Amino acid sequence: MSALLELSGVSVAIGNVALVDRISLRVEAGRILGLVGESGSGKSLTAMAAMGLLPLIGGRVTEGEVRFAGRDMAGMSDAERRALRGRRIGFVTQNPMTALDPVQRIGAQVDIVSRLHLRLTKAAARARTLDLLTQLRIPDAAAVVDAYPHQLSGGMKQRIVIAMALAGDPELIIADEPTTALDVTVQAQIIQILGALVRDRGLALLLITHDMGVIAQICDRVAVLYSGRLVEEGPVGPIFANPAHPYTAALIDCIPQEGMAKRSLRGIPGAVPSALAFPPGCRFHPRCRRATETCRDDAPPLLPLGAGSVACHHAGPP
Amino acid sequence: MSAWPAPLRALRWPVGGIAGAWLIVIVAAALFAPLISPYAYDAQALKEAYGSASAAHWLGTDEFGRDLLTRLMYGARTSLSVSAIAISLSVACGMVLGAAAAWFGGPFDRTVMVVVDLTWSFPEILIALILVAIIGPGTTGTMIAIAVAYLAQFTRLTRAQIMTLKGETFIEAARSLGAGNTHILLRHLLPNAFAPVLVAAMLATGDAIILEATLGFFGLGAQPPVPSWGGMMSAGSALVFKAPWIIVFPGLAVAATVLAINLYGDALIAELDIRSKLRGAG
Amino acid sequence: MLPWLIRRVLTLVPVFLAVSVVIFSILHFIPGDPIDNLLKVGSPASARAEMEARYGLDRALPVQYGIWLGKVFQGDLGTAIVARRPVAELIAQALPHSLRLGGLALLFSSVVGITLGIIAALWRDRWPDRAIMGGVLVGSTMPNFWLGLILMLVFSVWMGWFPVSGARGWNSLVLPVVTIGLGGTALVARITRVAMIEAVRQDFVTLLHAKGLPPLRIELFHVLRHALIPVVTILALRIGWILGGAITVEVVFARPGLGTLLIKSLSQHDYPVVQACLLMLAMAVMLGTLLGDVLQAMMDPRIRAAMA
């Protein structure tokens, strides 16, 4: 099956600082790919690259290709790229508190997507908005469309953002940390909604998160990013059972287990390196328990392993 | 370069350098006017009145045949000293008021801020006009009027600085070491609040030069025959059609000096990295 | 919103009282006897007595203030010493001219300043931005009255496009409005530019792009709308600047108005007129801040919510 979104060897830089180093990803229809990493690993930049929005933050793709439905986005005109956004690719941002225009009513903010991309009339767009809000289990949708963002709770706002992402009837949704800013109970609801969308509508979903627990809940495949490089990629089941990369293993260890108190969380020692001073060799080696001389000198290539791939000189169970 | 103090680093070519050079020229002209000016400022030569630029009078002459270049130099003396003294006065009072308001808080702080906010919303020219009306025209009246007109700005700024600094760790540390109120205020808070206030004072000096010129234009500033830029323009305004140079050159001197102060001030703000501290203080 | 508006207007009352105390006190700060300051030199003793009775000048200061304020509320601003006419009449003659000039100058600064600020923000750090911000800085360094005279010299005398002075016809308004407006333009352009650049960095703007909206639409309908909130606030707070500009420019262009009246009465020591002019200008400043608050509430639903 051909991928809807495919990144092959994509590098991203802001100014002269290289932040994402030759990463490759595939997102297929009806599937969920989780992209996981700590903050500063380049997750959000990857999302911006996939949306073609890097220029907004002064960034650019320095090598590699971002292909949507087989077409290289670099070869498209601005108008063509814009026609994809909102229409074929929906975007859910990190912080619903700041994602909505504070001085515009909710209804108008959702309506505009279907009016712009599906050429619906004002009335038809509003009907579609109300329908979407109801599908997303927003109580009293008729009142919500007339509200301003500050009148809604965080979870409600995130549903509105999801409704905006769905309004253009897209094939792919990119969700950048959609639950980070929300309460735990609301997090679960949003994850459920996203999972149901993929199941019911056959959407493709690129879910970006720092939380391995979320990955375990709904993703089909997972890609682990560390300091701008992909360290491991593969189907969720085998990776959680047998993480080959020590960083993946450490991330899985960080998931709070049921019945366990918070204090038993095993953090990863050390800090994420700054993009201005990535360590040589394997970028994880200063924090790695398996690190050897080789890790300090040579960056390990991403090699196939089972149904996925891993970049580690000492790949294997701990 | 970074070993140099910020005021020198701000002289970086081209903008800061040109601005700094003009300021040095104008201050030198003001300081040494009696030594370097071609004529005496009150030397009348009625035969040469209304002369345009010539070899003898580079910028022309006024209605009494007095040399404009000379008067411009002496005018700089008046305008710059009045503005600088007025702003120094304003800064000194503003810092004391602002620091006291921030330090003591409570009803005193509220009273000060109500008065400050009230004066702040009124145009400086209006405040200055009222004060000159009370004190009477002349350099002293102008100085006091300008000082009071800008008092609100420095009080606000100092207060805001002290309020931010009050919560910082090193102040807590000093307090826990047993330092007294006065000691903390004088040795820790005011010096740290000083840099932003000093830069704001410099920019305000530019505005004060314009205000001084405006008061002079209304005939309320330095009284004739002592030249001031505003006074020269006041005399020249009636002659604007007959001898426009009489008013053009003092105006250009004001504009160039204020522009130089602003450009150098901007460079200094960038060097000191205090843009955010100046924001919201007017 | 109405209860808020009432509360907001009520907060102006103490401010007005404070300002009126200052204006009232001017008469007593000025060197010399307040009665002499209210009378023409050489007035007979009977006039003195009449004035004393009228303003209660033999009584305690707070009582005098009360009498004065009471008369002000009745529209009685006293009698001009030089013009020997009721001050209220002089004010009524001058006010429309000043309002027209100030209002147009405010409009000019807003429209031109916001436009320039938008252009500078859209092309930030490129030549249109540098040119506009440089021009705006140069414009703000020139004394108002000087700029007015130079404009008059160039456009009235040399080009002959506009009348040199006076207040007859709309074209006599052009140069004064431009002169005052240019000062405000600098301020408005600077704030608009910064506010737009800051608004662009907000999350919701990224999401608007992600929704596929055309960039120009985003800048003009969303970013600008957002950026205008601080612009309106500052503009209202600094309405006094515009008025301050009007004072000098009215004098330069020999236009009737509050500024001319104020300067003339100051030089003639006609204190009842001075007091009345200052009172009018102070009220304009207060109404300006009120207007700013109302506009801000109209533009931002969050502020409306905070008021309820």
Q: What is the mean pLDDT of residues C156-185?
A: 81
Mark yes or no for CB contact C263/B218 under 8 Å.
yes
Cα–Cα dist B40/B44, whole Å: 9
More confident residue, B164 or A212: A212
Mean pLDDT of A135-139: 88
What sign has the CA pseudo-torsion C233, C236, C240, C245? Answer: positive
Is residue A207's pLDDT more than 90? yes
CA-nearest of C230, C279, C233 to C258 is C279
Cβ-defined contact of C149 to B118 (cutoff 8 Å): no
Contact yes or no for C237 and B124 at CB 8 A: no
Mean residue pLDDT of chain C comes to 83
Residue C69, burial from CB neighbour count under 10 angstroms (0-12, 13-18, 19+):
middle
Chains A and B touch (3+ CB pairs under 8 A): no
Give B181 to chain C, closest Cα distance, Å: 33
Name which of C206, C222, C305 is nearest A56 (Cβ-Cβ): C206
CB of C208 within 8 Å of a chain A CB? The answer is yes
Q: What single string gives the DSSP state of each residue in A232-278?
A: EEEEHHHHHHS--SHHHHHHHHTSPPTT--GGG--PPSS-PPPGGGP
C122 touches chain A (CB under 8 A): no
The residue of chain B with its CA nearest to that of C137 is B259
Q: Does domain B6-29+80-220+252-279 have CATH number 1.10.3720.10?
A: yes
Distance (Å) from the C-alpha of residue C43 to the closest C-alpha of chain B? Answer: 23
Give the predicted TM-score (pTM) of the model: 0.79
Closest CB from C146, C244, C274 relative to B123: C244
Instruction: Look at residue B25 and tell me whether its pLDDT is greater than 80.
Output: yes
Q: What is the average pLDDT across C240-269?
A: 83
pLDDT of A173 above 90 = yes
Q: Nearest by CB to B251, which of C19, C142, C240?
A: C142
The helix, strand and coil proportions of chain A, stated in percent and rounded to the nearest 5, come to 40, 25, 35
Query: In the structure, what pLDDT confidence band is assigned to residue C32 with cuts at 50, 70 and 90?
Result: low
Integer CA distances (angstroms), C288 to A96, B280, C133, in order:
36, 19, 27
Give B115's contacts in chain C (Cβ within 8 Å).
Answer: 18
How many helices (H) does chain B have, and how many strands (E)?
A: 14, 0
CATH 1.10.3720.10 matches C91-300: yes
Interface of C with A in 216-235 (CB under 8 A): 222, 225-226, 229
- C163 CB neighbours in chain B (<8 A) are none
Q: Is B204 on the interface with C (CB under 8 A)?
A: no
Indicate if the pLDDT at residue A261 is higher than 50. Answer: no
Interface test with C, best of A81, A103, A115 (most C CBs within 10 A): A103
Could you tell me which chain C residue has the CA closest to the CA of A114?
C211
- Percent of chain C clearing pLDDT 90 (strictly above): 6
Of C29, C152, C267, the CB nearest to B134: C29
Within the 132-161 window of chain B, which residues sit less than 8 Å (CB to CB) from chain C? Answer: 133-134, 136
Q: Give the closest-approach CA distance of C26 to chain A in angstroms.
A: 46
Q: What percent of chain A has pLDDT above 90?
A: 36
Residue, of A203 and B129, whose pLDDT is higher: A203
Residues above pLDDT 70, as percent of chain B: 90
**Extents of the domains making up chain C:** 2-73, 91-300
State whether residue A19 is helix, strand or coil. Answer: strand
Task: Spell out the residues 6+ positions from residue B128 whose beta carbon is closer than 8 angstroms to its own.
Answer: B142, B145, B146, B148, B149, B211, B215
Chain A CB contacts of C213 under 8 Å are 82, 86, 112, 116
Q: Is A135 on the interface with C (CB under 8 A)?
A: no
| Backbone φ, ψ for residue A126 (5° rounding) | -65, -40
Hey, are the CB atoms on A102 and C301 less than 8 Å from each other? yes
Q: Is C142 on the interface with A (CB under 8 A)?
A: no
Residue A271 pLDDT > 80, yes or no? no
Banded model confidence at residue C61, pLDDT cuts 50, 70, 90:
confident
Amino acid at A75: G
- Nearest chain C residue to B209, by CA: C143
Q: How far apart are CA A27 and CA A5, in angstroms?
A: 5
Judge: C212–A117 Cβ closer than 8 Å, yes or no.
Answer: yes
- Contacts B–C by Cβ distance under 8 A: 105
Q: Give the residue-averaged pLDDT of C170-199.
A: 86
> What is the b/e burial string over A55-85, where b = at least 16 CB atoms within 10 angstroms of the residue's CB?
ebeebebeebbbbbeeeebeeeeeeebbbbb
Residue B219 is classified by DSSP as: T
Residue A45 contacts C, CB cutoff 8 Å: no
Searching chain C, which residue's CA lies closest to the CA of residue A81? C212
ipTM (interface pTM): 0.87
Report CB contact under 8 Å: C247, B247.
no
Q: Is C244 an 8 Å CB contact of chain B? A: yes
* A103 contacts on C by Cβ (under 8 Å): 225-226, 229, 299-302
CATH number of the domain at A26-53+78-88+172-256+267-317, out of 3.40.367.20, 3.40.50.620, 3.10.180.10, 3.40.50.300? 3.40.50.300
In this predicted model, what pLDDT tens digit does every residue of A222-251 receive, in sequence order?
A: 999 999 899 999 999 999 988 889 899 888
Residue C27 is which amino acid?
Answer: L
Cα of B138 vs its chain's centroid, Å: 17
Residue among A86, A150, A151 whose CB faces C211 most closely:
A86
CB contact under 8 A, A148 and C209: no
Q: Where are the domains of chain B?
A: 6-29+80-220+252-279
Cα distance between residue A281 and residue A98, in whole Å: 39
Closest residue of chain C to B263, computed from CA coordinates = C137
The per-residue pLDDT for range B50-100, each reduced to its tens digit, is 777 776 767 777 777 677 888 888 888 889 999 999 999 999 999 889 888
A116-140: burial string, b at 16+ Cβ within 10 Å, e else: bbeebeeeebbebbbebbebbebee
Average pLDDT over residues C79-102: 86
Nearest CA to C210 among B125, A238, A175?
A: A175
pLDDT at A318: 60
Q: Does B218 touch chain C (CB under 8 A)?
A: yes
* A279-310 pLDDT per residue, tens: 888 888 888 888 888 888 888 888 888 888 99
pLDDT band at B280 (very low <50, low <70, confident <90, very high): very low
Q: What pLDDT shows up at residue A6?
A: 92
Domain boundaries, chain A: 26-53+78-88+172-256+267-317, 104-169
- Taking alpha carbons only, the member of A47, A44, A158, A145 closest to residue A97 is A158
Q: How confident is the model at residue B1 (pLDDT cuts 50, 70, 90)?
A: very low
**pLDDT grade, residue B233 (50/70/90)?**
confident
Does C142 contact B241 at a Cβ distance shorter than 8 Å? Answer: no
- Contact of C302 with chain A, judged by CB distance below 8 Å, is answered with yes
Exposure of B95 by Cβ count < 10 A (0-12 exposed, 13-18 middle, 19+ buried)?
Answer: buried
Q: What is the mean pLDDT of residues C62-86?
A: 83
Contact B125 C278 (CB under 8 A): no
Do chains A and C touch by CB distance (3+ pairs < 8 Å)? yes
- Give the distance from residue C121's alpha carbon to the nearest chain A alpha carbon, in angstroms: 14
CA distance A100 to chain C (A): 5
Contact predicate A160/A109, CB 8 Å: yes
